[in-house]
Amino acid sequence: MSNLNQLLMQFNYQQNFRFDDFYVSKSNSYIFNFLNNWPKWEKNFVNIFGEKFSGKTHLTNIFIKNFKGIKLNSIELDDNTFQKIKVHQNIVIENLDDGINETLFYSILNTIEQDNKYLLVTSHQSIVDIDFKLNDLKSRTSNFLLQNIANPDDELVFALILKNLSDRQIFLDKKLINFIAKRVDRSYRKISDFIYKIDEISLKRGKSIDFKIIKEVLGE
């Protein structure tokens, strides 16, 4: 886990963030600490939900790395899933939505519960808000412990900007980054979209990113 203050002091983000670089701030500290408190959870079934780019995959990667287990995407679930999860105590199912095979998913939940295993499900919206048609499944998902990833606070906004710049190998003066941080929407997805847009304009025009480009994308 990276130290944000040290990163800001050094202001050296030439290298892409490593697998375990996860910034803990007020926005995500509760859920980060909750996962690291395994197996002392209130319930065996947990749903982490939040918007795109909010760090759900990063959190589950850290969890699997620390506590072992298997991670599956919801679209990968099939009859072979029962055999795959058999030898694992921790199961992560990512990107759950209302397009899943409900009967199969319900059977998987029953198997995990019967074997007293732990299940971590990620989704964009709360699992209880997904429009499942199967009543038994609706009832079962109502027993999940819900963990919402809140919108980023100021500290995390800065870290997300640096990470997105690092991923695109963009190097900006601190004044520009401070300017962006004070004005960009407090949203994981919108921060990512913003960095993408200023990079796209810069490349198309063959010009370095400056206040003019930043203000243009901000709509100022």
- Report pLDDT for 20: 54
Looking at residue 44, what DSSP letter applies? S
HSE (CB half, 13 Å, CA atoms) of 75? 2
Contact 159, 4 (CB under 8 A): yes
pLDDT tens digits along 85-133: 999 999 999 999 878 999 999 999 999 999 999 999 999 999 999 999 9
Q: Give the domains, in start order, of the chain with CATH numbers.
A: 29-148 (3.40.50.300), 152-218 (1.10.8.60)
- Euclidean distance between CA atoms 178 and 158, whole angstroms: 8
pLDDT of residue 7 exceeding 70, the answer is no
pLDDT, greater one: 19 or 194: 194
Half-sphere exposure of 40 (CA within 13 A, CB side): 4
Interval 147-166 mean pLDDT: 90
Q: What is the pTM of this model?
A: 0.84
**Whole-angstrom Cα distance, residue 134 to residue 136?**
6
